[in-house]
A = this chain, B = another copy of it.
Amino acid sequence: MAGSEETSAEERLIARYFRPLATSPGAFGLSDDAAVVTPPPGCDLVLTTDGVIAGVHFFPDDPPEYISRKVLRMNLSDLAAKGAKPIGYLMSVALPAAIDEAWIGAFVAGLGEDAEHYGCPLLGGDTDRTPGPISVSIAAFGTLPHGEMVRRSTARAGDSVVVTGTIGDAALGVMLRRDHDLAAHWRLPDALTAQLTQRYLLPQPRNALAEAVRRHASAAMDISDGFVGDFSKLCRVSGVAAEIDVRRVPLSDAARTVLIAEPARLETVLTGGDDYEIVLTLGPDKVDALRTAASEAGVAVTEIGRVTAGQGARFVDGGKMLTFDRPSFSHF
């Protein structure tokens, strides 16, 4: 007979693996029903949630330290695009019985690294066994001065369109992960193949640019479901048109190499998911200030088009307007 003082296996798992992540005083070492945060005076709280499921958003045999960092970074990317500074996250984890403690150890090690790097500690969570696939859902929180969250719906005709980093790498990385022969078909050197698969495994959210986005952007969103579809959404909710010069969309050397071998992959690059870059609009007079801030933050930014009056984003490749089979990723 176990006494009422006996701690359960679930409690021991939480104490050993998850409690060390809960470094915020308001997380109470995960020993309470809830966490508490005191928002800085005059600040709003920005809230977002995003999750991953094995076999849907990642391959079940992806390294666990990448799975955990990926789902946290997906949420951090949303905060960055809104101009918010991360303050912490809640996490729900559902694990099949086959998952061992080594897996869990690697999963939390990845989270711990990222929490420190991005200043975003675990505030609380929920851990369950599941008869289904591994699934992880995170809700992340950030702060910014009252009323300053950068919206999707506030782009204005005349604004410049700017995008961070490079587009399409993760979508090509997924293809390489599914079919290793593609690297030879695309004549991709090993180093570039590794770059593309790494971009799929581990997004690089642009939180270093969040304050500049908040100061300068008229509208912004993070690109998670494909550049074409996501930017089209931004135009739609803003009630504007835009023209994107596809030849100015920033591509990595790896993506350029793929397009030389197989030009039709341009659609994959422009519409594939998992970029976790930011697309933003801003007054043309603010582009220089953004460039300066981006250079200081070590984030590449590229001007790729212009917002106009009207309706609908157009993607123009040397005078030819592109159309797409599937402008963005949809689960349904």
Contacts and interface: CB of A to CB of B under 8 A. Distances in A.
Given A49-B126, A129-B56, A132-B135, A84 B34 contact: yes
Contact of A137 (B84, B126, B133, B325): B126
| Oligomer copy total | 2
Q: Would you call the interface of chain A mostly helix, strand, loop, or mixed? A: mixed
Interface stretch (A6-14, A109-117, A188-196, A251-259): A6-14
Interface stretch (A37-45, A176-184, A282-290, A299-307): A37-45
Interface in A32-59: 32-39, 41, 44-51, 53, 55-57
A55 B96 CA distance: 13
Contact of A56 (B46, B84, B130, B222): B130
Interface residues of A, number: 87
Given A151-B32, A222-B33, A90 B49 contact: yes
A178 B61 CA distance: 36
B46 A34 contact: yes
Q: Which of A36, A48, A81, A151 has the most CB of B within 10 A?
A: A36
A326 interface: yes
Contact of A125 (B49, B81, B330): B49
B135 A94 contact: yes
Contacts of A33: 48, 78, 81-82, 152, 221-222
Nearest to A75: B34
Interface in A81-132: 81-82, 84, 90-92, 94, 123-132
26 contacts: A2-B325, A3-B312, A4-B229, A4-B312, A4-B314, A5-B311, A8-B229, A11-B233, A11-B330, A32-B151, A33-B81, A33-B152, A34-B82, A34-B149, A37-B45, A39-B39, A45-B45, A47-B139, A49-B90, A49-B125, A51-B92, A51-B137, A129-B331, A131-B133, A135-B135, A137-B137
Which 5 pairs, one residue from A and one from B, show the smallest C-beta to C-beta distance? A132-B132, A8-B330, A139-B139, A9-B332, A34-B48
Given A33-B81, A51-B128, 4 more contacts: A2-B326, A36-B46, A51-B92, A53-B131
Interface of A: 1-6, 8-13, 28, 31-39, 41, 44-51, 53, 55-57, 78-79, 81-82, 84, 90-92, 94, 123-133, 135, 137, 139, 141-142, 146, 149, 151-153, 221-222, 228-229, 232-233, 236-237, 311-315, 323-328, 330-332
